[in-house]
């Protein structure tokens, strides 16, 4: 695992772990799907639309969309088709919508609340999330290779500052009363090449944060890079 992959797992894993408390979707499953569907955050959909999961935009979707070519399996054979996908402002929004999508459809009922990652992977595949016949196997391999099951038990509550291993270091660049101002700052940060940027509502303010690191040194590197780009920021730990 290289540094870029490690950062991707730390960021998405932290978001997925926090989301799991509300959605019941295993963080390991969410993180593995994000890796597979977004090609470690490098897919066209992810880079242009913050879409980590390749969820198609059906007629009832009211949000942003992107039209891209995608690989499907028909009669066991790979084919290229053009489809319209959901797009988002942040990765956090993408994770939340992924969970909402799974909870909305009855065919995914066995995924919600499942604590055994293997069963969760089999259930999401059996429900038809992807047409790849090896989908469950690939997800399980990712979870076991990168020990993503650890995120199923992480405590990411922002008001629990007890044990050191429950903290994440984030680089914060402002707190705004209006979401529009926060989004402008988030976009400014993304233009520096840093894609792991989130707008979070905390204590009544929209806070712009980059990254989610278990090692403070990684947060310090991001802080240095943003300050070099003229962005005022500081490290928070929660």
Catalytic residues: 72, 97
d(C-alpha 86, C-alpha 90), whole Å: 12
Pairing type for strands 77-87 and 64-74 reads antiparallel
d(C-alpha 92, C-alpha 170), whole Å: 14
Q: Residue 191 class from Cβ within 10 Å (0-12 exposed, 13-18 middle, 19+ buried)?
A: exposed
Tracing tokens 């995924």 back to the chain, one arrives at: 111
The closest alpha carbon to 124, from 138, 113, 109, belongs to 109
d(C-alpha 161, C-alpha 144), whole Å: 28
d(C-alpha 113, C-alpha 116), whole Å: 9
Q: 191: which DSSP letter? A: T
4's tokens: 């870029």
């Amino acid at each position: 695992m290289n540094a870029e992959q490690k950062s991707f797992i730390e960021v998405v894993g932290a978001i997925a772990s926090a989301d799991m408390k509300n959605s019941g979707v295993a963080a390991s499953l969410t993180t593995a799907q994000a890796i597979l569907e977004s090609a470690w955050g490098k897919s066209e959909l992810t880079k242009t639309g913050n879409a980590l999961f390749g969820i198609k935009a059906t007629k009832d979707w009211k949000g942003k969309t992107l039209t891209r070519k995608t690989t499907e399996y028909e009669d066991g054979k790979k084919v290229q088709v053009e489809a319209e996908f959901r797009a988002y402002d942040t990765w956090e929004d993408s994770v939340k919508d992924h969970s909402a999508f799974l909870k909305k459809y009855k065919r995914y009922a066995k995924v919600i609340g499942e604590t055994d990652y293997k069963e969760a992977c089999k259930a999401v595949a059996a429900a038809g999330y992807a047409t790849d016949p090896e989908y469950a196997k690939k997800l399980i391999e990712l979870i076991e290779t990168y020990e993503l099951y650890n995120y199923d038990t992480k405590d990411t509550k922002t008001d629990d500052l007890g044990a050191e291993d429950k903290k994440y270091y984030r680089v914060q660049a402002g707190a705004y009363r209006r979401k529009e101002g926060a989004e402008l700052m988030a976009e400014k940060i993304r233009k520096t090449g840093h894609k792991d940027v989130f707008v979070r509502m905390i204590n009544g303010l929209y806070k712009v944060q980059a990254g989610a690191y278990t090692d403070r040194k990684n947060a310090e590197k991001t802080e240095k890079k943003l300050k070099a780009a003229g962005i005022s920021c500081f490290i928070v730990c929660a």
